[in-house]
Amino acid sequence: MANNLFGQYRYKNTLIHKLDPRTKILLLIFVSIFLFILKSYSSFVLISSFIIFLVIISKIKLTNILRNLRPFLFFFIFIFLMYFLFSRNELHKGIITIWRFTLLIITASILTFSTTTSQLVDAIEKLFAPLKLFRISPRNIAVMVSATIRFIPLLFSEAGKIRDAQKSRGANLKKVKHITGFTNALIRKTFDKASNLADAMESRCYRDYNHSHFNELKIGIKDCASALFTVLILGGALWIKI
Amino acid sequence: MIKLTNVFFLYNEKPVLANISCSIKEGNSVAIIGHNGSGKTTLIKHLNGLLIPTKGEVIVDGLNTKHNDWEIKQKIGFVFQNPEDQLINSIVGEDVAFGLENLGLPSNEIKKKVKDILNKLNISHLAKENVNNLSFGQKQLVALAGILVMNPKYIVFDEPTSVLDPRNKGNIKRIMSKLNKEGTTIILVTQNLEDISGFVKRVIVLNQGKIVFNDKKEKLNKAILKKADLYGE
């Protein structure tokens, strides 16, 4: 599951893939805010059409989108049942809520499918640049995010190995005593991995100043046009009816 | 040249390295061998300033690791035992570029160097792959590419073949040998005596944090290996 949620970038030669990651992050934030402002079916239909258009032009497979939505299915059913059982006269609100979260997940999926971790990290670093005023290094924050994304699948795999090793020695992971043993082993492994990673980073001359970027970020005409187009669609949705 | 003079390293007040003095000349190929816990990894971590000696000094091309660790890290590449632990970015090309970014090279130069090194190691087809989807052998090559791209003068390999299958083991050995022929100093840490066959010219044997042998490979004998607990019956 971790591999599905993180590091799911797939290289495709599309406009969405070529956009500056900062544009994509800011537009994702912008769309998310609008999804929470809008409340009517008609505006949701317009935004949904726009997001489906984005999925099509970014050439993301429908199966990948559905795979990202699957973990939230229980959550959606829960919301629907709550409205259905306790607030049936406001059922449309429940439908809008589920619709909203579905669109949010799809929009976030477009970002993660079309943007590499390093591009995301570079964008975060640039967007957090004002933090330098408070002597906080944006590079350190960006690398922390990158390392976390990179290591989550690894930690899942380590957790699987520890669980198997403990089960093979008769551990029952429903018992608190055995859960403690499992957790201790996982924490120890995590610290080991963090220490090794720190050594590897240091060995490759890591520093949070005077560094360059593999991907040079540039806001171009495509970014401006995409931002304008998104703003027009969102404005249209707002104009139709909140 | 790398020169260690009377190096002591204490961990929890226990000596892990005791009075280590040796030197490694440019272009040489040296194997550091010893049983588990003999101090091999601690010793090599001193070479590029990852660890600083409690007493004594490590000098690399005239630079002291106590004061010039960043400059020294550019000279000494470090390939760790487990490639999983040293891949920092999720995409192969971007991970290989990590060191060059830290050196502050321009983006177009980084891209050219990354492309060249991936071609050299015959893994250019992996450039846009997610590292989590690679085999262990491929991960080891990507980790090596991330070091080679920085063009270090010395490369330390910390038991690089211990977790590889025979085919990948052979591949890494061939690469080490080729690099040495091209002039790179290779420092190989291993506890497997098979690994020192071939290109290795000199052997340093460690036992309980002390050097018990430091000479040409041909002079290594059974008695020394027994003394270092490296000779199985």
Is residue B154 in a domain?
yes
Which CATH number goes with the domain that contains B109? 3.40.50.300
Note down the domain range covering B133.
2-227
CB pairs under 8 A between A and B: 115
A79 shares a domain with A45: yes
Nearest-CA residue of chain A relative to B98? A204
Return the pLDDT at A4: 46
Residues 120-179 of B with CB under 8 A from A: 128, 130-132, 146-147, 150
What dihedral angle (degrees, nearest 10) is formed by the CA atoms of A12, A155, A190, B38?
A: -90
Return the pLDDT at B198: 82
Banded model confidence at residue A3, pLDDT cuts 50, 70, 90: very low
Banded model confidence at residue A201, pLDDT cuts 50, 70, 90: very high
Is residue A63 in a domain?
yes
Is residue A7 in a domain?
yes
pTM of the shown model: 0.79
Return the pLDDT at B4: 94
Nearest-CA residue of chain A relative to B148? A204
Banded model confidence at residue A239, pLDDT cuts 50, 70, 90: confident
- pLDDT value at A43 more than 80: yes
Q: Give the total number of structural domains in chain B.
A: 1
Note down the domain range covering A87.
2-116+216-240
Euclidean distance between CA atoms B17 and B11, whole angstroms: 9
Q: In the predicted model, what is the mean pLDDT of chain B? A: 90
A159 shares a domain with A72: no
Interface mutation vs chain A, best among B101, B110, B129, B157, most A CBs within 10 Å: B101
Determine the average pLDDT of the residues in A134-147: 85
B149-206 pLDDT, tens digit each = 999 999 999 988 877 788 888 888 889 999 999 999 999 998 888 888 888 999 999 9
Give the minimum alpha-carbon distance from A11 to chain B in angstroms, rounded to a whole number. Answer: 7
- pLDDT value at A8 more than 80: no
Q: Which tokens is A158 given?
A: 């380590």
Contact B132 A193 (CB under 8 A): no
Is residue A129 in a domain?
no
Return the pLDDT at A2: 43
Residues 185-204 of B with CB under 8 A from A: none
The helix/strand/coil state of A214 is: coil
Contact A203 B94 (CB under 8 A): no
A198 shares a domain with A110: no
Nearest to B128 among A11, A149, A212 (CB): A11
Banded model confidence at residue B233, pLDDT cuts 50, 70, 90: low
Nearest to A3 among B88, B91, B132 (CB): B132
A112 shares a domain with A11: yes
Between A12 and A56, the more confident residue is A56
Return the pLDDT at A241: 66
Euclidean distance between CA atoms A114 and A12, whole angstroms: 8
Residue B52 contacts A where some CB pair is shorter than 8 Å: no
% of residues, chain A, pLDDT over 90: 35
Please enumerate in sequence order all residues whose Cβ is within 8 A of that of A199, keeping only pairs 6 or more positions apart, or say none: B45, B50, B78, B80
Contact A211 B48 (CB under 8 A): no
A225 shares a domain with A168: no
Is residue B233 in a domain?
no
B82-109 pLDDT, tens digit each = 888 888 888 899 899 999 999 999 999 9
Task: Identify all chain B residues contacting A203, using CB atoms and an 8 Å cutoff.
Answer: 48, 50, 73, 76-78, 80, 86
B9-57 pLDDT, tens digit each = 998 888 999 999 999 999 999 999 988 888 999 999 999 999 999 999 9
Euclidean distance between CA atoms A161 and A167, whole angstroms: 10
What is the 3-state composition of chain A as percent helix, strand, coil, each rounded to the nearest 5? Answer: 80, 0, 20
Q: Give the total number of structural domains in chain A.
A: 2
A159 shares a domain with A73: no
Is residue B232 in a domain?
no
Please enumerate in sequence order all residues whose Cβ is within 8 A of that of A56, keeping only pairs 6 or more positions apart, or say none: none
A152 shares a domain with A102: no
What dihedral angle (degrees, nearest 10) is formed by the CA atoms of A215, A216, A219, A221?
A: -80
Residues 16-45 of B with CB under 8 A from A: 45
Residue A197 contacts B where some CB pair is shorter than 8 Å: yes
Is residue A133 in a domain?
no
Give the minimum alpha-carbon distance from B191 to chain A in angstroms, rounded to a whole number. Answer: 20
Task: Identify all chain B residues contacting A212, using CB atoms and an 8 Å cutoff.
Answer: 100-101, 103-107, 110
Determine the average pLDDT of the residues in B58-66: 94
Annotate B11-21 with b (16+ C-beta within 10 A) or e (fewer).
Answer: eeeebbbbebe
Banded model confidence at residue A178, pLDDT cuts 50, 70, 90: confident
Return the pLDDT at B166: 80
% of residues, chain A, pLDDT over 70: 96
Nearest to A197 among B70, B85, B130 (CB): B85
Amino acid at position A29, single letter: I
Is residue A122 in a domain?
no
Nearest-CA residue of chain A relative to B97? A214
- pLDDT value at A242 more than 70: no
A188 shares a domain with A109: no
